[in-house]
Structure 1
Amino acid sequence: MPFDMSKFGDSRWVRTQPNGVYVHGATEPILSVLDVRGFELRDLFLVGINDSCGCIVLPSESRAENAAAALEPAYETRVHLMGRRDGEDVWATDYTRRALDGTTLSAFITDLALKDGRQVIKDGRWV
């Protein structure tokens, strides 16, 4: 029996949506991308770190693989066993938005200059 995703909905920070979809943080455009690409929006917990990256927690490996396939090539994805909860496996698909040229940008540090004024990261890329 797959893990019951409703257990993630106990936090006051988590919003509950129809079909057992639980979300926390920045969830657009990822929900739209999944929906448009034909991934069934049910039984999942989406943690959006920001608009460019996050994690989708799913009750089975096959759903995690399907979520990754729906996000490629616009997002770099990684499917992994997140752990076990209540005796059931819980799977996750991590995602990070790709630039138009296919590179993965830094989702956290977009611009960084050293004290001497040299720019080392610009628009999420090392220069």
Structure 2
Amino acid sequence: MTFDMSRFGTSRWVKTHPNGVYTHGSTEPVLSVLDVRGFELRDVFLIGINDSCGTLVLPSESRAENAAAALEPAFDTRVHLFGNRDGHDLWATNYTRRALDGTTLSAFITNLTLKDGRQVIKDGRWVR
């Protein structure tokens, strides 16, 4: 028996969609990418931090890996064990949008200069 994803749909901030899809926050870009790339939109909780990053919570590692494969190369992804709930392991795919040149942009900080004057983030990209 798999985890009942409807448990994520109890908050007034979470939207409920068909097939056990629950979303919170900014979700349209990543849902479109998943749909176009053939990922079956079912049994998933999507937490969209903004248009460029977020987390997909899924009931199995294989679904999390499949979601990551569907998002690549447009997004940088990382699959990890999200936690255990009611005796079931839940897996997550974190994603961050990539720029056309393949670099991962900072989704929150666009420019950052340290006190010593060294700029470490410029135009959303880490300066090396």
Matching of residues 36-51 of structure 1 within 5 Å: 36-51=36-51
Question: In the TM superposition, what whole-angstrom CA distance separates every residue of 1:67-96 from its partner, at most 9, and x where no partner exists?
Answer: 000000110101111110001010000000
Deviating more after overlay: 58-67 vs 109-118? 109-118
Listed as ranges, the gaps of 5+ residues in structure 2 are none
Structure 2 distance, partners of 1:83, 1:3, is: 12
Q: Which structure 2 residues correspond to residues 65-104 of structure 1 after superposition, within 5 A?
A: 65-104=65-104
Residue equivalent to 2:32: 32
Backbone CA RMSD of aligned residues: 1.6
Following TM superposition, the consecutive aligned residue runs of length 4 or more in structure 1 with deviations greater than 4 angstroms are: 113-120
Residue aligning to 2:111: 111
Query: Aligned residue for 2:19?
Result: 19
Offset of residue 120 of structure 1 = 4.7
SS in 2 for 1:12: coil
Amino acid in structure 1 at the alignment position of 2:125:
R
- Please give the per-residue CA displacement for 1:35-58, whole angstroms capped at 9, x wherever unaligned: 000000011000000111000000
TM-score computed with the length of structure 2 as normaliser = 0.92
Between the aligned partners of 1:69 and 1:116, the Cα distance in structure 2 is 40
**Where in structure 1 are there 5+ consecutive unaligned residues?**
none
Aligned residue pair count: 127
